[in-house]
Amino acid sequence: MRDGERMGLKLLSTGIPGLDKVFGGGLPEYSFNLVAGPPGAGKTTLVHQLTFANASAERPALYFTVLGEPSLKMLRYQQQMGFFDPEKVGTVIRFIDLSREVMSESPAALLDSIVKHVEQTNPAIVVVDSFRTVMRSYVGGDMELQAFLQRLALHLTSWQVTSFLVGEYEESEMHSNPVFTIADGIFWLTHNKERNTAVRKIEVIKMRGQAAIPGRHTFRISQQGIEVFPRTMSRLPVTAEHSARRRVSVGVPGLDEMMGGGVITGDATLVAGPSGTGKTAVSIQFAAEGVRHGEPAVLALFEEHPEEFVARAKEMGVDFEAMARQQQLRLLYFRLLDLSADEILHEVQQAVAQIGARRLVIDSLNGLELALSPGFREDFRESLYRMIGALTGGGVSILLTVEVTESFDKIHFSPHTVSFLAHNIILLRYAEIDGQLRKVLTVAKMRRSQHSPYLHAYEITSSGMRVTEPITGYRGFLTGVPTPRRLDPAGLPGLIDRERAVLDQALALREATAERLAEATGMELPALSRALARLVELNYLIEVQENGSVLYRSIARPLGQ
Q: Which residues of 162-193 are buried (b: 16+ CB within 10 A; e: fewer)?
A: bbbbbbbbeeeebeebbbbebbbbbbbbbbee
Measured at the CA of 37, the angle between CA 204 and CA 28, to 5 degrees, comes to 35
Highest mean pLDDT (candidates 223-237, 279-293, 462-476): 279-293
Band (326; pLDDT cuts 50, 70, 90): very high
Comparing C-alpha atoms, which of 164, 157, 173 is closest to residue 27?
164
What is d(CA 270, CA 253) in angstroms, rounded to the nearest whole number?
18
pTM of the complete model = 0.73
Please state which architecture CATH assigns to domain 486-554: Orthogonal Bundle (1.10)
pLDDT of res. 1: 44
Burial annotation 274-313 (CB, 10 A radius, 16+ → b, else e): eeebbbbbbbbbbbbbbbeeebbbbbbbbbbeeeebbeeb
Please report, for the chain, the start and end positions of each structural domain, with discontinuous segments joined by +: 11-229, 240-479, 486-554
Q: How confident is the model at residue 308 (pLDDT cuts 50, 70, 90)?
A: very high
Q: Which residues pair with 428 in a beta bridge?
A: 441
Q: For residue 332, give the DSSP letter.
A: E
Question: Sign of the CA dihedral 525, 530, 536, 541?
Answer: negative
Q: What is the mean pLDDT of residues 138-161?
A: 70
Q: Is 454 helix (H, G, I), strand (E, B) or coil?
A: coil
- What is the mean predicted confidence (pLDDT) over 376-388? 77
C-alpha 429/C-alpha 479 separation (Å) is 11
Q: How confident is the model at residue 561 (pLDDT cuts 50, 70, 90)?
A: very low
Whether the CB-CB separation of 162 and 55 falls below 8 Å is answered with no
Task: Over range 233-252, report the average pLDDT.
Answer: 73
Q: Could you tell me the fold of the domain covering 240-479?
A: Rossmann fold (3.40.50)
**Among 56-60, 174-178, 312-316, 474-478, which stretch is predicted with the lowest mean pLDDT?**
474-478
pLDDT at 271 over 60: yes
> In 43-96, which residue ranges form alpha helices assigned H by DSSP?
43-54, 71-78
What's the pLDDT at 65?
85
Three-state helix/strand/coil letters over 192-232: EEECCEEEEEEEEEEECCCCCCCCEEEEEEECCEEEEECCC
The arrangement of secondary structure in 11-229, i.e. its CATH architecture, is: 3-Layer(aba) Sandwich (3.40)
Q: In 3D, which of 280, 285, 242 has the Cα closest to residue 264?
A: 242
Answer yes or no: is pLDDT of 559 > 50.
no
Are 362 and 399 in contact by the 8 Å Cβ rule? The answer is yes
Least Cα distance to 187 among 28, 393, 293, 1 occurs for 28
3-state secondary structure of 156: helix
Q: For the residues 491-503, what does the mean pLDDT come to?
A: 78
219 and 228 Cβ atoms separated by less than 8 Å: yes
Please tell me the predicted confidence (pLDDT) of residue 239.
Answer: 57
Q: Do domains 11-229 and 486-554 have the same CATH topology?
A: no
> Mean pLDDT across the stretch 320-348?
86
DSSP string, 167-183: E---GGGGGT-HHHHH-
pLDDT of residue 134: 63
Q: Count CA atoms closer than 13 A to 66's CA, side-chain side.
A: 26
- Integer-rounded Cα Rg, in Å, for the chain is 34
- How many helices and strands (H and E) does the chain possess? 19, 27
Cβ atoms within 10 Å, residue 549 = 10
